[in-house]
C-alpha cells in the first residue's frame, strides 16, 4: 500500500491538530519525527497504540523524538481522544485526507469479509533532515513504542 520507503524525503505536509494548532514538516527540523497513522480515534486498537506511545513518551523525548498522530477524525473527536487518555502529543484532524494521501496510507481494506477504503495503520520515522528512516506497516498496537525505539 505505502509507496514511501526508507531513504525517501518525507512529504512536506501540513495540518491542524485537536486544538486548532497548525503543524508542518519543517516545524520538526532538527528532531526525529514519528508520524503514526491510525484508522479511528477511541477504537480499541488505536487506543492501545496511542496509550503505549503515551506511556513511553519520556523515552521518546529523551531520544529527541517528536510524535504526531494522524487520522481522518474531526478535531473534536481528536480532542476527546487526547483528553480521555491524557495523550501528551498532538493529533492531526486530517478530514480532507491530504496528509493521509501524501503518505500513501489510504486504500482498500478488509474487515469481517467486507471490503472498504480506509487508513492503513502505518508509522513513519523521519530523521532530523526530513528523510524517512523507518516505515512500520506491521504495527503492534500494544508494543508500538518498542518497535520505534529499538
Active site residues: 46
Rounded to whole angstroms, what are the CA distances from 111 to 2, 13, 68, 73, 77? 19, 29, 26, 19, 23
Residue 44: other Cβ atoms inside 10 A: 9
- Residue 102, SS3? helix
Identify the CA nearest to 28 among candidates 136, 125, 109: 125
Identify the CA nearest to 119 among candidates 86, 88, 82, 73: 73
User: How many residues are present in the chain?
Assistant: 150
Identify the CA nearest to 125 among candidates 42, 24, 4, 41: 4
Amino acid at each position: 500500500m505505502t509507496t514511501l520507503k526508507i531513504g525517501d524525503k518525507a512529504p512536506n505536509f501540513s495540518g491542524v491538530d485537536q486544538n486548532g494548532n497548525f503543524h508542518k514538516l519543517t516545524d520538526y527540523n532538527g528532531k526525529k519525527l514519528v508520524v503514526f497513522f491510525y484508522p479511528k480515534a477511541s477504537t480499541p486498537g488505536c487506543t492501545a497504540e496511542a496509550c503505549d506511545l503515551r506511556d513511553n513518551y519520556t523515552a521518546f523525548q529523551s531520544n529527541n523524538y517528536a510524535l504526531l498522530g494522524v487520522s481522518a477524525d474531526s478535531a473534536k473527536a481528536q480532542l476527546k481522544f487526547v483528553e480521555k487518555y491524557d495523550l501528551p502529543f498532538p493529533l492531526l484532524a486530517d478530514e480532507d485526507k491530504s496528509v493521509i494521501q501524501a503518505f500513501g496510507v489510504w486504500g482498500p481494506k478488509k474487515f469481517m469479509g467486507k471490503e472498504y477504503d480506509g487508513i492503513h495503520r502505518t508509522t513513519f520515522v523521519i530523521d532530523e533532515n526530513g528523510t524517512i528512516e523507518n516505515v512500520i506497516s506491521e504495527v503492534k498496537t500494544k508494543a508500538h513504542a518498542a518497535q520505534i525505539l529499538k
